[in-house]
Structure 1
Amino acid sequence: MLNYVIISGSGRPQSESARVAEYLRQRLIDLQLSDDNSCSLIDLGTSPLPLWPEHNDALWHDYAARLQAADAVIVISPEWHGMACPALKNFFVLASKTELAHKPGLLVSVSSGVGGAYPISELRSSSFKNNRLCYIPEQLIIRQVNTMLHPGPIVDDNDQRIRSRIDYALGVLGHYATALGAVREAVDMSIPEFTNGM
């Protein structure tokens, strides 16, 4: 069974990002891509990291151990003022190649309106550089998030479409997770001259 870590990047407790994260976690289990023991959630709203360079060694040690064991990660960011949120950017300042190198990542953006594209672009352009996380070509943008992915009957076509897209993207992520395992075994990440990306 593949091991996944889902990162809810919102700095707010009980956020829509965390609700979406729990939905994705349950879908991984329902689709038999993972199970309860192999799929964990990091919620930066309920267990926040202090701003870099200060850090909580015990909390980061727990997060780092889960990330090291992961075969793939899902990164969820709300769109705040057209940007990825600060808690998630801070997370990526702390994360290194030890935790994330050559692991596939699925980017998910949530928006209360019709936006959501800017955090995807921002995270694709910078958040992988030194930690070597490999974002897959698929991405998800959950627009009008307040009305999406709730339990009960699905009455909205947009909700049905995003649910189908989620299942497809999670399946693609699973294939990348399997394929990149061989890459992680083959690449020597200990060469000091190449500690950081260019």
Structure 2
Amino acid sequence: MKIVIIAGSNRKEATSTILAKALEAQMNRLFVEVKLFNLYETPLPFYSPDEIFNRHEGVRELQRLLMEADGVILTTPEYHGGMSGVLKNALDHLGQMHFSGKPVLSVSSAGGAVGVSSLQQMQATIRNLHGINSPEWISIGGSQRAIYESEAAEGTIVLDYRAKEALSIFMELVKKISNKVEAEIS
């Protein structure tokens, strides 16, 4: 099973990226093959339908990772009721061939209590890309953000119970769909 996490912030120490790293660490503990694509570390050019970006190394790498993935996790800060511009731009560089039939877990970090608007926006985008939205999502805000930031500063990031449960449900969905695809191929 291969999972790709797209950390959708252009801020070095974004809480959503800290959360992406915690998800990566949890999956590593479960011996899941996971790749974190951090948009802060690998910025992508602005998408334009008039241009072909297949020569841009970051775009090519992201597209390759998504083609090989069995499941995808998207993390974003919530900005003005939506996902970050860099995450939306990254998704614009991708298409249905990258998401069709693949489970996707949406994750948000908000300044308020929860980031429901960004989660709904990500899920609408995934539906349009023919991905399969996980029935659960992860959203942290308020005091939860402070806990994740504090743990990251200490080098000990641990997912809370609800995040672990949402990740578990997502992983079961990935397994179920992967097994179904393998059975159809055989």
The one of 154, 164, 174 equivalent to 1:167 is 164
The number of aligned residues is 175
Q: Distance in 1 between matches of 2:125 and 2:58?
A: 24
- Whether the 8 Å CA contact 2:103–2:174 is kept in 1: the answer is yes
Structure 1 runs, 4 residues or longer, greater than 3 Å off: 182-187
Q: CA deviation at 1:97?
A: 2.2
CA distance, structure 1, for counterparts of residue 180 and residue 64 of structure 2: 20
Structure 1: distance between partners of 2:180 and 2:132 = 11
**1:25 corresponds to 2:20:** no
TM-score, normalization by structure 2: 0.83
Q: Are 2:178 and 1:181 equivalent residues in the alignment?
A: yes
The corresponding residue for 2:146 is 147
Shift of 1:126: 2.9
C-alpha distance in 1 between matches for 2:179 and 2:56: 31
CA deviation string 1:43-74 (max 9, x = no partner): 11221111111535221111111111111111
Q: CA-atom RMSD, angstroms? A: 2.4
The residue number in structure 2 matching 1:128 is: 127
CA distance in 2, matches of 1:112, 1:33: 32
Identity of aligned residues (%): 23
2:89 corresponding residue in structure 1 = 90
TM-score, normalised via structure 1 length: 0.79
CA distance in 2, matches of 1:45, 1:175: 29
User: Take 1:139 and 1:148, find their aligned partners in 2: how far apart are those partners?
Assistant: 19
Deviation at 1:170, TM superposition (A): 1.4
Unmatched tracts of structure 1, length 5 or more: 188-198
1:59 alignment partner, SS class: helix
**Secondary structure, counterpart of 1:66 in structure 2:** helix
- 1:119-154 deviation digits (Å, cap 9, x = unpaired): 01112223431x3111111011111253133266x9
Runs of 5+ in structure 2 lacking a partner?
A: none
Q: What is the aligned partner in structure 2 of residue 50 from structure 1?
A: 45
Cα contact 2:75–2:106 (8 A) shared by 1: yes
